Structure 1
């Protein structure tokens, strides 16, 4: 039954055709009586076609169908002649259906115009085709029917408007949900890309430097080459472990993943030592307490220093030294990484694709900080970042 109801809702012309057929049965029942009273059968048939034929199309073409029905009503008024004509026939109810259709599907203005035509036709019908006593009762009954049609049209029209508004809101909510999902996916992809870049780029850069050193020293200084190879292996294992943890989180939320604490500003000391081991002297200056920084600030400081020192290793050239300054005040934390190499900004972007600089800038922006990177006036490259700490 529910399936049939849904099918009827999807095919409203079928239900309207049933209404037209039901009214047609009434018309056929009085056809012989109308002909006996002097009504031409061709006129009777023309009125039937005009008033019942448009009913199946009233929802798709409400104005056209309604005024065809009205034309049939006026044709009946002038062809069913005098007091000998039948006062009411089944197709007359199509006028009430047309009024309901205009109010529900077009609007009140169209309904008022149509109601005015119905009022005029009803008064003419009452004056010319029925007696005075009959007129009072029948006109009252006609007005009741038309009033009921108007009320039903108002109710259904308001319900349709409410449903349209709900549908529009649902569409907007779905669109907003999809947009938020796309934004969340984009942000997550950017975050994952930053983490992978920071982990892999630093580890690979250290491994390359040590591999080059081992290749040069393998014949003349085998002990130094052995230490370099050992450092390469250790750095590779650490990078592989961190990547496995990150990939374990991405694969499944249900999997039991081994969690490790995120690095923070205290890990900058280890970064400096690793960079010195790679052959780049690093001087570290820390002013203020960096142990109890907010987690996001501590991680960003670590990653920015890591990326800056990685760029120094890759692009600054031989004989380069670096300076890392971290200064904390009650209001903000200032970070600066400076080297005196001869690499150019073009080299940095050309080799790395600019992803490292983009990642550093994004980390600072997410926390409401400022970031700048560029050539140092005294030569080399300089990276500066500022993070607000005050509430």
Structure 2
């Protein structure tokens, strides 16, 4: 609230206080000089305009205005000019000040009242003390209670705002992670399909002059792979547009689809041997997809960088993890150390492998194989419930 409402309130109290003084003049002779009574009530009521912005100063000023002149001469005490400003000042200093400042303001008001009781003949009786002390104590307690409630509500609002900010930050992080995941999926889909199409198109070109009928098979493979890529991209883009219900979705590939992947790669010119060691078990969906994508990316790289070649895929299960290694027999791509991408094959594919494996707390090693070829080996720990 602004200062204007408090100023209007103080003006109204001041007017009624001056009317109260005038009425007392008609009915009886006031204690003390009349200008002093008028001035004291004017100060005590006018300062109430500052009761929110300067509550302690207001309480001290009211106490001085009511009790200060009493040290010189007894003055008439009025309801509107003395008692009401004391109650308002007591409430305001309790409502709008800290505990220490509120206690100081209350102490100043009590001191002013003590002077009034000691010096004013009308208020000096013991019977009048409860009629002043009880309302003043009630106003002070009400002010402290309302302040505590307001602070509690303010804390609740701040906590709600903090939680909302944390929730929005979590949403942004989740969106960023989802975008990264979609980017990896798009790369894996496009890189695999385009690499296959390039190899098959090259094979068809070689056969066109020498054996045109045999060129039909690789061209058909190009068409089939292109349709597959378009379908996969359509599903991914449909998910981004929120068209999940309209899509004929299929489960994400996993270790159960490795045999089909190996057969497909063999059909396009990369003979692959698949070996499974240890008792097979059900993997978490994310780990299952990661194993498949690592094998797919490694075989795609072999097809692009090492053809003509062969490859061997080993999938090994143990009590605490699942391991997968892919080794091709083509020319080495460089001399990278274990765990480092090999210079001849650095690209988004190997970077994506590292990101996928790191997401599940695993390790990835890529290096030239002894003699010739290239090896990709990943280890993914299994959750306790999967062991």
Measured against the shorter chain, the TM-score band is 0.7 to 0.9
Cα distance 1:24–1:208, how it changes in 2: closer, same or farther (>3 A)?
same
User: Which residue of structure 2 aligns with residue 257 of structure 1?
Assistant: 247
Cα distance 1:58–1:264, how it changes in 2: closer, same or farther (>3 A)?
same
User: Which residue of structure 1 aligns with residue 338 of structure 2?
Assistant: none
> How far 1:288 moved relative to its partner?
4.2
> Contact 1:312–1:341 (CA<8 Å) still a contact in 2?
no
- Identify the range of structure 1 (275-284 vs 260-269) with the bigger mean alpha-carbon deviation: 275-284
Cα distance 1:290–1:299, how it changes in 2: closer, same or farther (>3 A)?
farther
Are 1:21 and 2:21 counterparts? no
Cα distance 1:241–1:336, how it changes in 2: closer, same or farther (>3 A)?
same
Cα distance 1:122–1:230, how it changes in 2: closer, same or farther (>3 A)?
same
How far apart, in 1, do the equivalents of 2:315 and 2:119 lie? 103
User: Which residue of structure 1 aligns with residue 57 of structure 2?
Assistant: 64
Matched ranges for 1:35-74 at <5 A: 37=30, 43-44=36-37, 46-74=39-67
Cα distance 1:225–1:42, how it changes in 2: closer, same or farther (>3 A)?
farther
**Structure 2: segments with no counterpart, 5+ residues:** 335-341
**Structure 1: segments with no counterpart, 5+ residues:** 1-10
The match for 1:119 among 96, 99, 110 is 110
Cα distance 1:293–1:111, how it changes in 2: closer, same or farther (>3 A)?
closer
Cα distance 1:264–1:75, how it changes in 2: closer, same or farther (>3 A)?
same
Number of aligned residue pairs: 372
- Identify the range of structure 1 (247-256 vs 136-145) with the bigger mean alpha-carbon deviation: 247-256
- 3-state DSSP of counterpart to 1:149: helix
> How far 1:14 moved relative to its partner?
4.7
User: Which residue of structure 2 aligns with residue 229 of structure 1?
Assistant: 219
How far apart, in 2, do the equivalents of 1:38 and 1:332 lie? 97
Q: Normalising to structure 2: TM-score of the pair? A: 0.85
Cα distance 1:311–1:91, how it changes in 2: closer, same or farther (>3 A)?
farther
Cα distance 1:73–1:224, how it changes in 2: closer, same or farther (>3 A)?
farther
The match for 2:70 among 77, 97, 105 is 77
> How far 1:41 moved relative to its partner?
6.0
User: Which residue of structure 1 aligns with residue 343 of structure 2?
Assistant: 346
How far apart, in 1, do the equivalents of 2:373 and 2:280 lie? 27
- 3-state DSSP of counterpart to 1:218: helix
- 3-state DSSP of counterpart to 1:255: helix
> How far 1:362 moved relative to its partner?
3.5
The match for 1:332 among 303, 311, 321 is 321
How far apart, in 1, do the equivalents of 2:304 and 2:153 lie? 63
User: Which residue of structure 2 aligns with residue 148 of structure 1?
Assistant: 138
Q: Normalising to structure 1: TM-score of the pair? A: 0.84
> Contact 1:54–1:65 (CA<8 Å) still a contact in 2?
yes
> Contact 2:71–2:119 (CA<8 Å) still a contact in 1?
no
Computed over aligned residues only, the root mean square deviation of the Cα atoms, in angstroms, reads 2.8
Are 1:186 and 2:176 counterparts? yes
The match for 1:162 among 144, 147, 152 is 152
Cα distance 1:70–1:372, how it changes in 2: closer, same or farther (>3 A)?
farther
> Contact 1:100–1:152 (CA<8 Å) still a contact in 2?
yes
Matched ranges for 1:307-318 at <5 A: 307-316=297-306, 318=307
How far apart, in 2, do the equivalents of 1:299 and 1:321 lie? 24
> How far 1:307 moved relative to its partner?
0.8
How far apart, in 2, do the equivalents of 1:56 and 1:216 lie? 97
- 3-state DSSP of counterpart to 2:245: coil
